[in-house]
């Protein structure tokens, strides 16, 4: 688990532990992870520093990447650089599943954003442009160079850290503005959803939109 101290990651970590998974989390500041659980192992580290990925992936079934550093991502494709190291390490360890959380304003490979979303990205969300460019580069890399990994990217739309608004489902055409806890719950089922492998879809509270 990369990003366990983040807004989505902290919910994801708790939910995964609640349903019986064992979680190994890499955190820059382990003290920020306000969860104590027998099945949680926290390893101090940063994805921009050397990490022993072979040791981290030992015994791991699936990798979850919910990383974000808006400032650093303005200057560098931090996540892309990391995922380009992670995927070969997953091949070495035989770890098959990878979930990557991108944003609803990040464009899936070969697609275009709806005009209204392009406008949002260019105006009120322009501070996050570097993050979206990084997310897009990750999705392009996975789509073109990681077919052997059962990866899935979730282009999440998140508006608040409020209470649950319902159950999110995968959607190719619509992205609901969800809550972090709903996105985390959705990500947890997405990680093991064979039908979603190699998709870069959004999620919506209602099917068929």
Ligand X SMILES: NC(=O)c1ccc[n+]([C@@H]2O[C@H](COP(=O)([O-])OP(=O)(O)OC[C@H]3O[C@@H](n4cnc5c(N)ncnc54)[C@H](OP(=O)(O)O)[C@@H]3O)[C@@H](O)[C@H]2O)c1
Give the interface with ligand X as residue ranges (CB under 6 A).
2-9, 28-29, 32, 46-48, 66-69, 101-104, 131, 135, 156-158
- Smallest distance from the beta carbon of 205 to ligand X, in angstroms? 15
Nearer to ligand X, 103 or 181 (CB): 103
Nearer to ligand X, 66 or 137 (CB): 66
- Smallest distance from the beta carbon of 68 to ligand X, in angstroms? 3
What CA–CA distance (Å, rounded) separates 119 from 53?
39
Nearest to 160 by CA among 35, 11, 53: 11
What CA–CA distance (Å, rounded) separates 57 from 95?
7
Residue 16 and residue 70 in contact, taking contact as beta carbons nearer than 8 Å: no
Residue for token digits 């709806």? 114
- Smallest distance from the beta carbon of 118 to ligand X, in angstroms? 16
- Smallest distance from the beta carbon of 98 to ligand X, in angstroms? 14
Nearer to ligand X, 1 or 149 (CB): 1
Residue 197 and residue 151 in contact, taking contact as beta carbons nearer than 8 Å: yes
Q: Which residue is nearest to ligand X (CB)?
A: 6
Nearer to ligand X, 48 or 148 (CB): 48
């Amino acid at each position: 688990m990369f990003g366990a101290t983040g807004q989505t990651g902290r919910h994801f970590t708790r939910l995964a532990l609640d349903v019986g998974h064992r979680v190994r989390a890499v955190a820059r500041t382990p003290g920020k992870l306000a969860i104590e659980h027998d099945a949680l192992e926290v390893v101090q580290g940063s994805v921009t520093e050397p990490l022993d990925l072979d040791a981290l992936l030992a015994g791991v079934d699936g990798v979850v990447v919910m990383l974000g550093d808006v400032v650093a991502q303005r200057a560098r494709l931090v996540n892309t650089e990391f995922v380009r190291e992670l995927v070969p390490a997953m091949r070495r360890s035989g770890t098959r599943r990878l979930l990557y959380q991108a944003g609803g304003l990040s464009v899936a490979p070969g697609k275009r954003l709806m005009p209204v979303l392009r406008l949002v990205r260019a105006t009120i969300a322009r501070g996050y442009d570097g993050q979206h460019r990084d997310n897009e580069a990750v999705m392009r890399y996975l789509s073109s160079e990681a077919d052997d990994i059962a990866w899935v990217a979730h282009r999440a739309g998140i508006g608040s850290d409020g209470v649950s608004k319902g159950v999110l489902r995968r959607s190719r055409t619509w992205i609901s503005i969800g809550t972090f806890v709903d996105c985390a719950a959705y990500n947890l089922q997405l990680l093991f959803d064979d039908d979603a492998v190699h998709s870069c879809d959004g999620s919506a509270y209602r099917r068929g939109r």
